[in-house]
Amino acid sequence: MPIYPSDDRVNQFLTYLQQEKGFSSHTVRAYQIDLGQFLEYLVDRKDRMDISKVKKDSVRDFVGYLLTHGYERSSVARKLSSLKSLYKFLNRRKIIATNPVRAVKTPKITKRLPGFLTQYQTQKIMDISGNDESSLRNRAIMEVLYGSGLRASELVGLNIDDLDFHNEVILVKGKGGKERIVPMGSYAQKAVKEYLAMQQHKDNPAIFLNLQGKRLTTRSVQTIVKRLVSKIADASHTNPHTLRHSFATHLLERGADLRAIQELLGHSSLSATQIYTHLSIERLKKIYDKAHPRAEEEIK
C-alpha cells in the first residue's frame, strides 16, 4: 500500500469505522488510502496538513486535481464520499465547527449496467463434471453464488452452521456486519450436501475449503469462477459478481418484486437495486406490446 501522511484525527475516524461501525479491514484500508491521498495533496499543493482548517475551495481543488489527472469519475466520487464521511464524523464529535465538504457536489457518474449471463449460459456453466472433492466444491460454489445471489466475500465467510437445510435458508453475513437470511434452492442444497459428504477436512467450520483444508479466499473464488465461466465463448463477464447480477436479473425477468430482490441482495437502499430494471426493458416492452390496447397501430 502507498505510504501517505497520517493524522491523529483521521486515525480516530478509521478506528471508529472498524470498532463501532463494524467495517471490514478491507473497507477501512480503502478509506485510509483515500484520506491519506487528500492529506498528501494538502501538503504538496497547499503547504499545510491541518484538516481542521480546510475550506470548501480546497476540497473542490482536490476534486479538480483528481479529474485532470485521469481518475475515473467513480473513483473521484468514492474519494469525495470518504472525505464527507470523515468531516461529518469530525463535526459530530465537535472537533470542527463547520463541515467544508457538505456543499461540494459529487461528479456525475454514468451508470454502467452490470454484466450478467443469460439463463441458457448459466445452465451451461452449472454443468460441471467430476465427482472428486474439487469438482464437487466448485459446483457447490457456482450453485450457491447464483442460487442465492451472494457476494464472493459472503460466500467464503459461510460456516456449516449458517446452513439450515430443514428450512432451506442460509444465514449470510454481509457488508458492515449486517446479517440477512436468503433462500437456498434445491440445486444449491444438493450440490452443497454432495460436497460436504466428500470433504476430507471435517474439523474446519468453514464450508468452502482449499485442498489443504483452509478456508477459501475471495481471490480463490474469483479464479475458480473465471475459469468456469470462461469456458463459455460468448460470456463477456467472468467474475463472481456476474452470477450475483444474473441472479437478480433472472428474478426480475420472471416477475419478482424489486423490493424483494433488494432484500435478497442485501442492498441498503432501493436505488442500488433499480439498475436491474434497465436490464429487463426488453421484457417490459414485450409485455406492453402484448397487453396494451394502444401498443400497436391497427392494420387495415
Pick the range with the lowest mean pLDDT from 11-25, 35-49, 93-107.
35-49
Residues 6+ apart with CB under 8 A from 111: 275, 278
Whether 155 and 221 have beta carbons less than 8 Å apart is answered as: yes
What's the pLDDT at 224?
94
Residue 114 in this model has a pLDDT that exceeds 80:
no
Whether 15 and 9 have beta carbons less than 8 Å apart is answered as: no
What's the pLDDT at 98?
85
Residues 66-87 have a mean pLDDT of 88
Joined together, the cell numbers standing for residue 52 give: 481542521
Residue 82: pLDDT band by 50, 70, 90 thresholds? very high
Domains of the chain, first to last: 8-92 (1.10.150.130), 119-285 (1.10.443.10)
What's the pLDDT at 4?
58
**What digits encode the pLDDT tens for the residues 210-230?**
989 999 999 999 999 999 988
Residues annotated as catalytic (active site), given as ranges? 151, 175, 241, 244, 267, 276
Residue indicated by cell numbers 428474478: 251
Residue 21, CA atoms < 13 Å, CB-side half-sphere:
16
Amino acid at 119: Q
Judged by DSSP in three states, 55 sits in: coil
More confident residue, 145 or 296: 145
Q: What stretches of the chain show up as alpha helix (H) in DSSP?
A: 8-19, 25-46, 56-68, 73-92, 119-125, 133-148, 152-156, 186-198, 218-229, 240-253, 258-265, 276-279, 281-291
Rounded to an integer, what distance in angstroms lies between the CA atom of residue 115 and that of residue 130? Answer: 28
What's the pLDDT at 300?
42
Whether 16 and 23 have beta carbons less than 8 Å apart is answered as: no
More confident residue, 8 or 171: 171
More confident residue, 287 or 143: 143
Pick the range with the lowest mean pLDDT from 73-87, 89-103, 105-119.
105-119
Rounded to an integer, what distance in angstroms lies between the CA atom of residue 142 and that of residue 98? Answer: 49
What's the pLDDT at 146?
94
Judged by DSSP in three states, 295 sits in: coil
What's the pLDDT at 299?
42
Residues 67-78 have a mean pLDDT of 86
pTM, rounded to two decimals: 0.60
